[in-house]
């Protein structure tokens, strides 16, 4: 019970920080659009991120902590504290030195590299500005790299607050830089990248790691068995990331078949949908991952299964009401966030429709975010990679076949089908190799949540037809108020339906929520 309480608090912290970071990211894009639109300066800034992103992929920065935590935790479980810190220092120094050897020539030959990786011919002016911006942005990769390991160390110590601030500070620094130095074009935004990375990923995380009693040794041994083991684990994950990048490229290319607005419409809808994945899936996955790794090392597989399925079950119980609310309020959400300037009512209508078709994708991706970490905790890196690659291979003919029939809706439909297929495959493989302890009750609660979703979509369709004229004609302020009231109502009603269907998760969550409300009102807590 204590574990669940700790996990929930950690997940809430991470969820709030991810939401804040994504909100700031959207605000950042709005400021950039206002400052430069689609000008040469904006294109140069976008182009400048190409080389840093490639280097990020080479060292798999996004997955460094996922690989690091199981190995580091293994030392701690064996009570080998000094060996754990030597491994931390060794991997940090070895990969850091490798990254530095890539960054220095990239800085020197930035212009040539941008020319090399750019397919289309670009003007000398664009190339010059992209080179300048690229050199400003590039050093941020070192701070992000170091910060990733410092965050991982804190996660093993169940410290989540300071690590959760990285994205918030990073985006805030870019925004502040752009606003304060608006007279210098987009240079302020570019300078904000290394400054935000330095403060958010490096300085702040050093302070957090110091609280966790970090130990650092100037120790480099690239031939150490655990370094070799680390690199072997990194290889399949890099391939998996590569297939994800390829899939995004395919989606972007496929969107181009549906007119000039096809790509941007898909991107806007995907961005809103992926916020749900970040807030729910990633928060639960990141918060529970250190405990998964520890339980694997302690060979407590039955307990691990209980934790995994309880985490998934509770996440899904909350996710379904949120999906219902977003589905019902898809038009108001898009209108509130984006409809201004060149973003027309017609565009809002199109994106809100695509968003509704994208929402099933969020269900699959959220489940993925937790399930995939169970394989990573067990150091089974190849399983998610092969599944992801297989789904990617099936995706292309599915798009080609369904595109002419379903139009642009085929993109989210195929995406949802692929995500759900991958989830089912991971559930089967995990259960086959690790047992089913805790799975039956979790799947029963998930089934009740899906039934509540189906029932509430009917309610949402009725509400949509009833309020259609109102939400399209009312003022923005009134629309925001309406969205809050309706969103809370639909969210609560969906939870109540889950509880009435027998969901233990919904009952627990509603009792917790009611208890908090009654305590705020200084009333005696009652259960429902």
| DSSP track, 403-452 | HHHHGGGHHHHHHHHHHHHHHHHHHHHHHHHH--TTHHHHHHHHHHHHHH
Sign of torsion over alpha carbons 485, 487, 491, 493: positive
429 & 392 share domain:
yes
> Do 128 and 185 touch, CB atoms closer than 8 A?
no
What are the per-10-residue average pLDDT scores of the chain (528 residues)? 47 75 74 60 74 70 74 85 89 89 90 74 78 89 89 83 86 86 76 91 88 82 86 74 58 53 66 78 77 84 85 86 90 80 74 86 83 84 80 74 73 80 86 83 88 90 87 88 91 90 83 65 52
pLDDT at position 335, please? 84
pLDDT at position 195, please? 93
| Cα-only R_g, the chain | 24
269 & 403 share domain:
yes
pLDDT at position 2, please? 37
pLDDT at position 104, please? 92
pLDDT at position 199, please? 93
End residue of a domain, out of 422, 444, 466: 466
Report yes or no on 521 lying in a domain: no
308 & 242 share domain:
yes
End residue of a domain, out of 466, 498, 518: 466
Q: Token digits for 237?
A: 């994950």
pLDDT at position 485, please? 92
Domain range enclosing 339 = 234-466
pLDDT at position 452, please? 92
pLDDT at position 451, please? 92
217 & 280 share domain:
no
Report yes or no on 155 lying in a domain: yes
210 & 246 share domain:
no
Domain count, the chain: 2
273 & 189 share domain:
no
pLDDT at position 38, please? 47
Q: Token digits for 416?
A: 């949802």
Sign of torsion over alpha carbons 361, 362, 368, 369: positive
> Do 135 and 110 touch, CB atoms closer than 8 A?
yes
End residue of a domain, out of 222, 242, 269: 222
> Do 370 and 281 touch, CB atoms closer than 8 A?
yes
Q: Please tell me whether the overall predicted TM-score, pTM, comes out greater than 0.75 for this model.
A: no
Which H helix or E strand runs over 377?
helix 345-377
């Amino acid at each position: 019970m204590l574990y669940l309480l700790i996990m929930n608090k950690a997940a809430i912290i991470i969820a709030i920080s991810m939401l804040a970071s994504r909100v700031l990211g959207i605000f950042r894009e709005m400021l950039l659009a206002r400052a430069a639109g689609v000008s040469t300066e904006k294109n140069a800034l976008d182009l400048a991120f190409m080389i840093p992103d490639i280097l990020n992929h080479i060292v798999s920065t996004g997955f460094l902590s996922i690989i690091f935590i199981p190995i580091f935790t293994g030392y701690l479980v064996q009570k080998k504290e000094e060996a754990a810190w030597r491994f931390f220092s060794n991997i940090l120094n070895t990969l850091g030195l490798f990254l530095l050897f890539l960054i220095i020539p990239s800085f020197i030959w930035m212009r040539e590299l941008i020319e090399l990786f750019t397919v289309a011919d670009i003007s000398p002016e664009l190339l010059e500005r992209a080179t300048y911006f690229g050199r400003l942005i590039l050093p941020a990769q070192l701070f992000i790299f170091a910060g990733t390991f410092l965050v991982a160390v804190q996660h093993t110590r169940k410290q989540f607050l300071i690590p959760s601030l990285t994205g918030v500070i990073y985006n805030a620094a870019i925004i502040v830089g752009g606003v304060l130095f608006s007279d210098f074009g987009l240079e302020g935004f570019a300078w904000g990248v290394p400054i935000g990375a330095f403060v958010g990923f490096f300085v702040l995380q050093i302070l957090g790691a110091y609280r966790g009693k970090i130990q650092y040794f100037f120790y480099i041994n690239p031939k150490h068995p655990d370094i070799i083991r680390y690199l072997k684990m990194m290889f399949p994950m890099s391939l998996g990331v590569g297939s994800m990048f390829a899939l995004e490229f395919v989606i972007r290319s496929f969107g181009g078949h549906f007119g000039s607005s096809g790509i941007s419409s898909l991107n806007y809808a995907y961005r809103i949908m992926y916020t749900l994945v970040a807030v729910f899936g990633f928060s639960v996955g990141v918060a529970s991952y250190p405990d998964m790794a520890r339980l694997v090392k302690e060979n407590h597989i039955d307990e691990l299964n209980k934790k995994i399925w309880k985490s998934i079950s509770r996440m899904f119980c909350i996710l379904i009401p949120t999906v219902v609310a977003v589905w019902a309020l898809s038009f108001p959400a898009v209108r509130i966030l984006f409809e201004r300037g060149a973003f027309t009512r017609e565009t809002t209508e199109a994106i809100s429709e695509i968003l509704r078709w994208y929402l099933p994708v969020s269900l699959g991706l959220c489940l993925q975010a937790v399930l995939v970490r169970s394989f990573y905790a067990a150091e089974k890196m190849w399983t998610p990679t092969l599944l992801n690659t297989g789904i990617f291979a099936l995706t292309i003919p599915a798009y080609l076949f369904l595109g002419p029939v379903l139009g642009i809706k085929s993109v989210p439909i195929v995406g949802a089908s692929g995500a759900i297929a991958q989830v089912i495959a991971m559930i089967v493989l995990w259960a086959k190799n690790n047992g089913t302890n805790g799975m039956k009750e979790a799947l029963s609660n998930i089934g009740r949540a899906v039934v509540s979703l189906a029932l509430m979509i009917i309610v949402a369709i009725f509400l949509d037809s009833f309020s259609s004229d109102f939400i399209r004609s009312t003022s923005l302020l009134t629309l925001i108020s309406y969205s809050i009231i309706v969103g809370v109502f639909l969210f609560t009603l969906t939870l109540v339906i889950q509880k009435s269907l027998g969901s233990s998760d919904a009952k627990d969550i509603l009792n917790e929520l009611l208890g908090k409300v009654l305590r705020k009102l200084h009333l005696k807590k009652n259960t429902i």
